[in-house]
Amino acid sequence: MWILYAAGSSFFAGITAVLAKCGIKKTDSDVATVIRTVVVLVFSWLMVLITGSGKGIPELSGKTLVFLILSGLATGASWICYFHALQKGDINKVVPIDKSSTVLTILLALIFLGEGINAGKIAAVILIGGGTLLMIDRKVTERNQKKQKDWLIYAVLSAVFASLTAILGKIGIQNVDSNLGTAIRTTVVLLMACLMVVITGKANQIRKTDRRERRFIILSGFATGASWLCYYRALQDGPASVVVPIDKLSILVTIFFSWLVFHEKLSKKSVCGLTGIVAGTLLLAIL
C-alpha cells in the first residue's frame, strides 16, 4: 500500500506547478503566492496534529526559532520567485532549473555544514547540472530575449533560495520534528507573502482575483498538501531508499502535464537533459 502513497506524493507534487500556471495567467504571482500559502499552511499544521509533534513547541530554543524563521524567509523568497518564473516562462524549462537546487544544496552543505562529497555525488551533480543546461533552449531565448531573461533570472533565484532553505532548515530542525519545522516555516512564508502584497499595494487584488484562476491556485495548494500527506504516509510504512526516488520523479509528471495542458514540447536536446536530471536525482537517492 505504501508504494501507492509514494506514487500519489509524486503525482500531486508534479501537478502543483501545472495547476499554479493555470491560476496565474491574469493573477499577479505575489497575490497567487498568498492564496496558495494559506492552503499549504492549513495542511502543514494538519500534519503537526496528525503526528502529535505540536508537543515540541515549548521545547524550541531561541537558536532553533531563528534558523527556522530564516529558513521560512528563504522559502518565501523561493516561492515568490518560482511563481514569477512560472508566470513568464514555460513549465518544462522553469521546473528543471528549480530542481537544480539539489546541486546548490550539495555545494552549500559541503561549504557550511562540512558534509562530505564522493564520486557518486560528483557524478549526480554533473548529470543534474548538465541536464538543466540542456533544457534551456537558447534558440527560444534569442527570439524573445527580454522575456526569456526575466523568467530565467527568477527561476535561478528560486533554486538559490530553495537551496538556502535546505541548509538553514537543516540547522534549524536538528532537534525539532520535521513536520513542526515545516509548519513554522510555512507560517513565516505566509507572513512574508502578505507583507509583500501590502508593501506593493496589491492587497486589494486578492478579493478581485478571477474566480476560475483562484480555484486553480487553491487546487495547487491542495496538491502540495496532498503530496506532503502521501509522502509522510509512504515513509511510515515503506523504505526511504525507495520512497524518495519515486517522489523525486514528480518532474516527469510535471513535464507530461505541461505537454498535455499547455502543449509544451521537448526538443531532443531537452529530452537528453531531462534524462540526465532524472538519472542524477536517482543516483543521489540511492547513495
Name the percent of the chain lying above pLDDT 70.
93
Q: How confident is the model at residue 145 (pLDDT cuts 50, 70, 90)?
A: low
Distance of CA 141 to the CA centre of its chain: 24
Distance from C-alpha of 130 to C-alpha of 108, rounded to nearest angstrom: 19
Counting every residue written for the chain, the total comes to: 287
Q: What are the backbone angles phi and psi of residue 209, rounded to the nearest 5°?
A: -60, 135
Domain locations in the chain as residue ranges: 2-286
Inform me whether the pLDDT recorded for 220 exceeds 70.
Answer: yes
Inform me whether the pLDDT recorded for 139 exceeds 60.
Answer: no
| pLDDT number for residue 34 | 95
Cα dihedral 229, 183, 223, 153, rounded to 10, equals -130
Inform me whether the pLDDT recorded for 241 exceeds 90.
Answer: no
Tens digit of pLDDT for each residue in 55-89? 889 988 888 889 889 989 999 999 999 999 998 88
Q: Helix H segments across the chain?
A: 2-22, 29-51, 62-88, 91-99, 101-108, 119-134, 138-143, 145-172, 178-199, 211-237, 240-248, 250-262, 268-286
Task: Note whether 74 and 164 are within 8 A (CB).
Answer: yes
Mapped onto helix, strand or coil, the DSSP state of residue 245 is helix
Distance from C-alpha of 91 to C-alpha of 195, rounded to nearest angstrom: 27
Q: For residue 236, with 0-12 CB atoms within 10 Å meaning exposed, 13-18 middle and 19 or more buried, which class applies?
A: exposed
The pTM for the full model equals 0.86
Inform me whether the pLDDT recorded for 141 exceeds 50.
Answer: no
Instruction: Compute CA distances 260 → 217, 246, 253, whole Å.
Output: 19, 21, 10
Tens digit of pLDDT for each residue in 197-214? 999 999 999 888 999 999
Q: How confident is the model at residue 123 (pLDDT cuts 50, 70, 90)?
A: very high
Picking from 196, 107, 121, 203, the residue whose alpha carbon sits closest to that of residue 160 is 107
Distance from C-alpha of 183 to C-alpha of 270, rounded to nearest angstrom: 36
